[in-house]
Amino acid sequence: SLERTCRASVTSDFMSQLEFQAAFCLLSAGTIIWRTHPASSSFVMLSDKEAFHLDSMSVVKVGMDIAFRNVSEMQTGAAAGKTGFGRVVDINTMDCVWEVVLLDLPEANRGANIFVRPHQLAGIEDTSKRTCMFAYKPAPGSSSELKMDDSSLSLGNIILGLRWCEQFYSKPISRQASESGWIAQRLAELLTALLGTEMSVRKITKMHDNSTNRHNGKILAAQLTDLYGEETDSDSNANSVDWMDKRGAGRLKGLLSQQTWTAIRKQLQSELGIARCDKETNRVAHPFC
């Protein structure tokens, strides 16, 4: 496989230094992509004064994400007074109120929708910036596939970069030398942010809802579970979790901060679920494999 070939070829300190320099270039390029990504500037926070002078009932639309102040603990489960985030699902112009589904909590824990009034508005999303920059394609499975792929940047390229981060960081020489190890951590955080943003935008806009992309989606789900899965994502009746190579967690668990790990797993809930279902289906269909 492409992964095995890369691991076998990079063995010397000299090659590790070349990798480090290449990773530094990739980090710089990724930073530029992140700063210019439409979604990175799609949310605008508002002061109390700005919100007061805004005709918010005409600006806020169904499907738009908003931030709101004066959140009650009973409504969100968060500390009272904190800013909350939600997606508008209905607008009552007569009573000047928005019905909002919370985005702060996992989908299973969201409960009933809440109602937000204009004076609580703290931020709005520019929905025109719901645009993706990466093609919806998985990482190639071999060097020949990579060579033949002449398309634009894809999610598969991000996945290859994340795999490299884990491989480079796991080397003893990288762990011992802080000047080498930090690059993998920083790059993994950046690429994870890009990946999560792209996947979130696609889910909202349903950009991958066709037969070709559904096929790619299954492959992507398995590849993402390899990176971000946990043992709880596997079938509880199975004797092993071979998609994680018996690690008990995805490759990047020890590389990312807990905050980033929790956030990306929340964003990839559906992909982790697809991979779990496919794993169980294959296990039932081929019980002796």
pLDDT score, position 243: 43
Regarding whether 145 and 92 lie in a shared domain, the answer is no
- 11 confidence band (pLDDT: 50, 70, 90): low
- Domain range enclosing 28: 2-39+132-285
Q: Identify the CA nearest to 199 among candidates 144, 248, 267.
A: 267
Interior CA angle at 143 toward 282 and 23, to 5°? Answer: 105
Residues with Cβ within 8 Å of 216's Cβ and at least 6 positions away in sequence, in order, are 136, 137, 138, 208
Contact 265, 230 (CB under 8 A): yes
Contact 198, 220 (CB under 8 A): no
3-state secondary structure of 97: strand
Q: Which residues of 159-191 are buried (b: 16+ CB within 10 A; e: fewer)?
A: bbbbbbbbbbbebeebeeeeebbebbbbbbbbb
pLDDT score, position 237: 43
Highest mean pLDDT among 40-54, 146-160, 183-197: 183-197
CATH number at residue 61: 2.30.30
Q: What percent of the chain has pLDDT over 70?
A: 74
Q: What is the spatial distance between Cα 104 and Cα 131, in angstroms, rounded to a whole number?
A: 22
pLDDT score, position 240: 40
Contact 71, 82 (CB under 8 A): yes
H-helix or E-strand spanning residue 68:
strand 65-68
pLDDT score, position 242: 46
- Tokens standing for 136? 């919806």
pTM equals 0.77
- Tokens standing for 219? 């492959």
- Tokens standing for 24? 């530094």
Q: What is the spatial distance between Cα 165 and Cα 195, in angstroms, rounded to a whole number?
A: 14
Q: What is the spatial distance between Cα 128 and Cα 59, in angstroms, rounded to a whole number?
A: 13
Q: Of 77, 105, 125, which closes a domain? A: 125
Q: In this model, does residue 250 exceed pLDDT 60?
A: yes
Q: What percent of the chain has pLDDT over 90?
A: 41
pLDDT score, position 186: 94
Task: For residues 266-287, give the mean pLDDT.
Answer: 79
Task: For residues 41-55, give the mean pLDDT.
Answer: 89
Regarding whether 158 and 106 lie in a shared domain, the answer is no
Task: For residues 53-57, give the mean pLDDT.
Answer: 91
- 206 confidence band (pLDDT: 50, 70, 90): confident
Contact 31, 187 (CB under 8 A): no
- Tokens standing for 236? 């509880």
Regarding whether 263 and 161 lie in a shared domain, the answer is yes
Regarding whether 66 and 181 lie in a shared domain, the answer is no
- What is the tally of structural domains in the chain? 2
As a whole number, the mean pLDDT across the chain is 81
E strands present in 105-231: 114-116, 121-125
Q: What is the pLDDT of residues 258-270, one digit of tens each?
A: 999 999 998 898 8
Regarding whether 148 and 197 lie in a shared domain, the answer is yes
pLDDT score, position 205: 84
Q: Identify the CA nearest to 165 among candidates 150, 149, 187, 143.
A: 187
Q: Of 125, 144, 173, which closes a domain? A: 125
Interior CA angle at 263 toward 135 and 166, to 5°? Answer: 70
Regarding whether 190 and 113 lie in a shared domain, the answer is no
Q: In this model, does residue 239 exceed pLDDT 50?
A: no
pLDDT score, position 13: 67
Highest mean pLDDT among 20-34, 74-88, 149-163: 20-34
- 238 confidence band (pLDDT: 50, 70, 90): very low
Regarding whether 116 and 12 lie in a shared domain, the answer is no
Task: For residues 109-133, give the mean pLDDT.
Answer: 86
